[in-house]
Amino acid sequence: MIVYFTGTGNSKYVAKKLAKITKEETLNANRAVRKKESLSIEDDRLIFICPVYVSAPAIPFMDLIRRSSFKKGAKAYFIVTCGASKGCSPKYFRDLSEEMGIEYMGCEQVVMPQNYIVYFKMSDDQENRKIIKDADPSVKKIAESILKNEPFAETPMKTSEYVMTKMILGAYYKFFMTSKCFVATDKCVGCGKCEQDCPLGNVSIDNGHPVWGQECVHCMACINRCPKEAIEGGKKTVGKVRYHGPEVLLADL
Ligand SMILES: Cc1cc2nc3c(=O)[nH]c(=O)nc-3n(C[C@H](O)[C@H](O)[C@H](O)COP(=O)(O)O)c2cc1C
Ligand code: SF4
Ligand code: SF4
């Protein structure tokens, strides 16, 4: 079973690609994350996929795994999608596997388009199409290890990066991952896509305009995927290219 959490669609894209090769079923965990539900999966093999947020796997996804139940000793593969690097994700997932009594089979990364529009430089559509295409060999390599039941190759991690991430992560989620920065401009047509796309159920449409609640994890789905590009996240996002996600970029071709 492939279980994935996604904001802008990169992790979903990787999950679907991987499913095609491995013939594993996929489960979109966004609803379970949103509703704070738990999963109960008795499979011998588990494949978890989520984005990297601040050098670590997305915390709401780790929380979902933590409150779920799995077959004791099931082999668990972890894959993170990222703009550049998986950071300390392997250490987080190794510790989580130990806690859950499942066998840690490693954590691989798939570099996909950067979606953190409120902080990073964004690539244009053409560059992003190339990044998505270039990700295919990594997905194939990951699938091969899984099909052979082999663990992923270990890569060294800088202890200093982990110490730093551990120190700032909680505060970063609390103080920076909020929806305070978001506003809808007069380009908004009230279509409701931002409401549908928010994996945390944090956006609702009121009087034809989006209103943001308190549950934001800065996944960047609402601001990037708005078809009218009507959402801004402060001055930094004005005039920046939006990343609409793999299905939009690839459908355009
Ligand atoms: C809040 C936030 C933090 C991020 N931090 C990192 C990071 O530390 N390293 C990195 O390489 N990419 C980082 N990214 C980029 C995402 O990991 C990347 O675009 C990912 O593929 C998005 O997956 P999704 O489309 O499934 O949501 C960050 C993105 C967001 C929204
Ligand atoms: S997706 Fe964009 S246009 Fe549609 S309601 Fe949200 S902000 Fe408005
Ligand atoms: S409000 Fe926007 S950025 Fe925050 S979790 Fe929802 S979709 Fe993601």
- Report which of 62, 107, 59 is spatially closest to residue 85, judged by C-alpha positions: 107
- Which atom of ligand 1 lies at the shortest distance from residue 55's CA? 8
User: How far are the Cα atoms of 10, 140, 147 from residue 246, in angstroms, in the given order?
Assistant: 7, 18, 25
Rounded CA-CA distance 30/60 in Å is: 9
- Which atom of ligand 2 lies at the shortest distance from residue 229's CA? 2
- Tally Cβ neighbours within 10 Å of residue 140: 12
Residue of the nearest CA to atom 2 in ligand 3?
Answer: 222
**Does 231 sit in the ligand 3 pocket, CB within 6 Å?**
no
**Does 55 sit in the ligand 1 pocket, CB within 6 Å?**
yes
**pLDDT tens digits for range 10-19:** 999 999 999 9
Rounded CA-CA distance 173/236 in Å is: 19
> Are 186 and 210 spatial neighbours (Cβ–Cβ below 8 Å)?
no
**Does 220 sit in the ligand 3 pocket, CB within 6 Å?**
yes
**pLDDT tens digits for range 124-161:** 999 999 999 999 999 999 999 999 999 999 888 889 99
User: How far are the Cα atoms of 85, 169, 238 from residue 92, in angstroms, in the given order?
Assistant: 14, 12, 35
**Does 77 sit in the ligand 3 pocket, CB within 6 Å?**
no
- Which atom of ligand 3 lies at the shortest distance from residue 218's CA? 3
Please report the pLDDT score of residue 38 as a whole number: 97
- Tally Cβ neighbours within 10 Å of residue 56: 22
Please report the pLDDT score of residue 158 as a whole number: 84
Task: Go through the domains of the chain in sequence order and give each one's CATH number.
Answer: 2-162 (3.40.50.360), 177-251 (3.30.70.20)
> Are 76 and 104 spatial neighbours (Cβ–Cβ below 8 Å)?
yes
**Does 81 sit in the ligand 1 pocket, CB within 6 Å?**
yes
Q: Over 70: is that where the pLDDT of 252 sits?
A: no
> Does the reported pTM lie above 0.85?
yes
